[in-house]
Amino acid sequence: MEEFNVGVVGAGYVGLVTGACLAHVGHRVRCVDKNEARVAELAEGRVPIYEPGLEELVARGRKRLSFSTDLPGAVRDSDVLFIAVDTPPGEGGSADLSSVGAVARSVGRALAEAERERAREKPLVVVNKSTVPVGSGDYVSMLVREGAQEVDGGNVPYRVVSNPEFLREGSAVYDSLFPDRIVLGAEKRDALDTMRALYQPIVEQSFPTQLDPRPRDAVPFVTTDLASAEMIKYAANAFLATKISFINEMAALCELVGADVTNVATGIGLDDRIGARFLNAGIGWGGSCFPKDVAALRAVAREYGHEPALLDATVSVNERQRKAVIQKLQRDLRTLKGKRVALLGLAFKPNTDDLREAPSLEIARLVNSLGARVVGYDPVAGKGAAAMLPDLKVVFDPYEALAGAHAAVVVTEWEEVRSLDPEKAASLMEDPKLLVDGRNVLDPAAALDAGLLYRGFGRG
């Protein structure tokens, strides 16, 4: 195996997972971030984000993994440099590339300064790991070139690669080490060859692992042009979001005709052209990826005068699901004024503390605006939610959240929520003891037998 010196700019969620996993498979990695407090925290072995397995992986990789604020040093010493900074939604839903652009220009300047001291044997491979719209590879290349020209006006040796991430929060370490596929886009063959060598231990699954048996013998390695690689990322997330919105549309119809969407999902999911994953009806999708990526894809479409009707409908159905929670509460509580409503789970999905675009936040605001008092439970995201919503009372025991509540909403399917004792829940709640199962994860019969008024999504 060829060992590489790797720089990762951005020690956030994607950058930190990427850096830790590349160090684990045998490369020397330096994670660079402008946040001095975060760098100091990581240098002391404290991981500032919650992701299962990440802290242990960082600890095991101490000999190969370092943290710094020195971007020029990382540019000078790296064979491959990943850009993994935020691309938040900008005006009209388009991706805000200001952080990516600032890094690219700084890389160009640093590369030119380093060339004054010593000529590189091979071009620096600059990798877009951030989720960026189509055309961003050319944009980054332009800014690297302009940054270099600010220093000496000459050319510097570099290549730009698109390498989109497909990490699921809550299983990001696993997804990095055992991915469904690795996608690379570039215009120069030597850049793709470098990236193939970098990822060889993962592609061939030749690195040490405690998982036995391994998920597969080899990982599909997809190479294409820059624009297609960038489009693959957006298309994948847009399709998954659409699949969730589709089953939620079916759930609405199931409620009208008396069918059970869980049985419908099982029946259609057995068709291998459809598949069973992402067919869970409920309050819809959120998080840092689906909302941002679908919005960015819609914005790109409109730049070219195209109306993305299917994507517009996907978003519309998802927005409706939040309102459906309120409608279910109002139907059985009549009025929310003076009522206590418990939200079970606050993070946008289990096994993460991420609250970006979390359904819980919108539901809490809506419930609170209608005069109810909201108490929220989450094992890891509670403190963050309390900071974002001062009117939200946060507790760290699901039964404490249920005590005195007239209604409860299952928002995030943490194991602690899935395994709730319905009889204990009913004994703690006030009439009508309404349980809105926003993820369809609880047993309706057991809930009804315990005296709870159960309302799911699309369950007849």
Catalytic site positions: 289
373 annotated to bind ligand: no
10 annotated to bind ligand: no
167 annotated to bind ligand: yes
120 annotated to bind ligand: no
242 annotated to bind ligand: no
129 annotated to bind ligand: no
122 annotated to bind ligand: no
235 annotated to bind ligand: no
87 annotated to bind ligand: yes
280 annotated to bind ligand: yes
110 annotated to bind ligand: no
418 annotated to bind ligand: no
424 annotated to bind ligand: no
389 annotated to bind ligand: no
Closest CA to 112 of 141, 138, 144, 74: 144
104 annotated to bind ligand: no
63 annotated to bind ligand: no
Annotated binding site: 33, 38, 87, 131, 166-169, 233, 278-282, 286, 292, 349, 356
Q: Which residues are annotated as a binding site for NAD(+)?
A: 33, 38, 87, 131, 169, 292, 356
Residues annotated as binding site for substrate? 166-169, 233, 278-282, 286, 349
